[in-house]
Structure 1
């Protein structure tokens, strides 16, 4: 299989790259907030309160940026929707709507934790026990609602795999990739049972693996959507300039 060249950027492709744009805002913002690595679920109320009071300005800025720019993911989700709608399979077209709705819900998940973190630092003189409660709420609200992201990735994967055309919109391997991505998000639902170890909210299977997979998934799908949009644009130009056109 020969390597694919970087696709020509179209309007649809530009929408697809809004997903990586959000990632490039999210990671530095969270590093500045002190959330990479996340505060431990085992930390005491006084430790959590001291952390938020020390980093109040950084958390205000990072929470605000995450809250506002997470909606860039809607452009990414819409770009995938447009490409999946091009398939002739009725099932794939139905799943395109499902992934769009699930994607909109998945990106909105970022808003509740950031509102809670902002609430903490808005009045950081509040009792340590209240800060601990709000922080617990925020992290569990971030890592546990995984069903929307799982449904989005699974819907994309199945839609790609049922495309039986000789020249499919997306390569078949990307369908299996999306199904695998869906599974990697699953452990987040277990965070309610653990306050330490790999299944806690700061654990490898709940935080680090999903974050790494999410980042790679967004970039790969952005490339594939951009390539598909570029190919569609080229086909339109060929049709316009053909003798028949």
Structure 2
């Protein structure tokens, strides 16, 4: 037998075992960080900070100052806590971008999603925390200044539309064009409804009360239901996607994921 005849047998003997279909530890770590962050966000924003459901927009400066005085302790505890864990937003965006890069729609949309959500975190999250913590830091300020911080925080939090509209748009496009079936197509339609709620929410800049105000049924509560549904679906789909992850990149990803 020649050396060339023996080579295939040697190669076959050295063939590595098929990897187990289990999630990478770092992927699961980020997945659970995503879950914990959104749970903590809900507690800080809703139960302690009282930003959701929000206070009324049709109030006077004195009423806004009185509201801060009534809820100052919850705002300080909840929002300082959220500032400490604010980086969790980037981690949450990162795992979505990670799986978007595995889609056949290409990496550019994944980077666009991460960038848009990263920019949107400032007006959609940080500004509210800073404004309301500033208001509670010196409660003896003029009611007019507290009134400004009251409005600025809420309008930034609920009315920061463009960045999130762009992020949801590129995510929906990525899901619709993906042939690797990382996320099902129906999730793309759920994401489209996120875009619709962002567009409808633009009316809060024009109304002080009613269905289109920042605490209105159309601009807020319908949006909360759709966002809650979107996050719930995303948690399930990310868990399934993480479960499919292995220590090696699947051949389908290698063939199509870089197109």
With the length of structure 2 as denominator, give the TM-score of the two structures.
0.79
Correspondence 1:123 to 2:138: yes
Q: What is aligned with 1:241?
A: none
Q: Distance in 1 between the 2:247 and 2:67 partners?
A: 53
Q: What is aligned with 2:117?
A: 103
Q: Distance in 2 between the 1:213 and 1:71 partners?
A: 24
CA drift of 1:209 comes to 2.4
More displaced 10-residue stretch of structure 1: 50-59 or 67-76: 67-76
Change (3 A) 1:221 1:182: same
Computing the radius of gyration over CA atoms, which structure comes out larger, 1 or 2?
2
More displaced 10-residue stretch of structure 1: 30-39 or 73-82: 30-39
Alignment size in residue pairs: 227
CA drift of 1:136 comes to 0.8
| 1:82 alignment partner, one of 79, 98, 106 | 98
- Aligned pairs for 1:176-191 (under 5 A) are 176-191=189-204
CA contact (8 A) 1:17 1:76 kept: no
CA contact (8 A) 1:26 1:66 kept: yes
Q: What is aligned with 2:13?
A: none
| 1:134 alignment partner, one of 146, 149, 153 | 149
CA drift of 1:83 comes to 1.1
Q: Distance in 2 between the 1:114 and 1:203 partners?
A: 22
CA drift of 1:102 comes to 1.0
Q: What is aligned with 1:13?
A: 28
Q: Distance in 2 between the 1:231 and 1:129 partners?
A: 55
CA drift of 1:27 comes to 2.4
| 1:57 alignment partner, one of 73, 77, 102 | 73
Correspondence 1:94 to 2:108: yes
Q: What is aligned with 1:27?
A: 42
Correspondence 1:69 to 2:82: no
Q: Distance in 1 between the 2:183 and 2:52 partners?
A: 34
More displaced 10-residue stretch of structure 1: 110-119 or 51-60: 51-60
More displaced 10-residue stretch of structure 1: 15-24 or 52-61: 15-24
More displaced 10-residue stretch of structure 1: 117-126 or 63-72: 63-72
Change (3 A) 1:41 1:226: same
More displaced 10-residue stretch of structure 1: 23-32 or 137-146: 23-32
Q: Distance in 2 between the 1:10 and 1:196 partners?
A: 49
